[in-house]
Amino acid sequence: MTRFAAYGDEATKQALIADIAAKGPVYSGWLTNAAFEGDLSPISQTYGLHPAFVRLMPALGGFGATDASLPFYGSVLESLPVGADTGALARRFLLLAWTDPAHGVAQRLPLGSVLAAGEAIIDLVRASVTARVDKKTWRAARAALAKARACEQAPEAAVDLVLSLAWDLEEAPGAAQDAMLVWSSQVMTDAAAAGPDTMTEEENQALFTAMRTHHEAAAAAVPDLKPGNAEAYERFQAEMGRLWDGDPAGKALKARSDARGVRINAKVAAWREAMQAQLLELAKAASLAAA
């Protein structure tokens, strides 16, 4: 079904793995924030990786925000055999957004028309692993879920995630990245709501106002603050500290917000680590199947 076969030869495979490990030019142009807007088609053409897989990898790795995903990238690429169908791999992975016991959305949807429409989309994703599903069928499935959502109450984020899966990855490979962004946003929202100290809308607004006011005042106090001026930045940070110290109520809100951010980041990191492990297992299974 796909014209993409991984690597082409072992030397190409090892060259790619070495570049990623060294954070070389391929890494920089692919597995970082550059993936948001960049043209990643050269990666597919040079290394035989399906465009959906190419879009999936940086999103699952956090777009290079830290080096924590470097071992994951290397392990997945090493596990994939020469000639592997990474399009099928991407589709199998995205099914986890529905099926994963801890993070999938199947269990979030109530019995009824929304769940039925979601299951119909997932059936198409499963079918697309081995056969092409035409554009008209995908469009009809999205329309059916949208119609069900309008008539029946269901978690908006869960429905959005299922809709993000309902695309032909041959025609719209960027949908793989979009699905990952929707999924990670849902994890963040859930983490924020589940914390022991959630903040009200009024508290969030008060914190935003205080942050803006203090930032503007500190910037005015350090007029030479410019990118690359480390000494001015230190003075700016000191001024921000002084302003927060003079605002006990705002400082308390900031401390709560910072603690919430730590909790959210920890939950997102745990989700990312779990999903990376799932993709690695799928890659290993592809290697065993090719043996």
Residue bearing tokens 């090719």: 290
Going from N- to C-terminal start, the domains of the chain cover 10-89, 95-173
Q: What is the SS3 assignment for 134? A: coil
Note down pLDDT in tens along the chain; length 291 residues.
Answer: 567 999 999 999 999 999 999 999 999 999 999 998 889 999 999 999 999 999 999 999 999 888 989 999 999 999 999 999 999 999 999 999 999 999 999 999 988 999 999 999 999 999 999 999 999 999 999 999 999 999 999 999 999 999 999 999 999 999 999 999 999 999 998 888 887 777 889 999 999 999 999 999 999 999 999 999 999 999 999 999 999 999 999 999 999 999 989 999 999 999 999 999 999 999 998 866 655
pTM of the predicted protein model: 0.87
> Is 100 in contact with 69 (CB distance < 8 Å)?
no
Residue bearing tokens 């949908």: 175
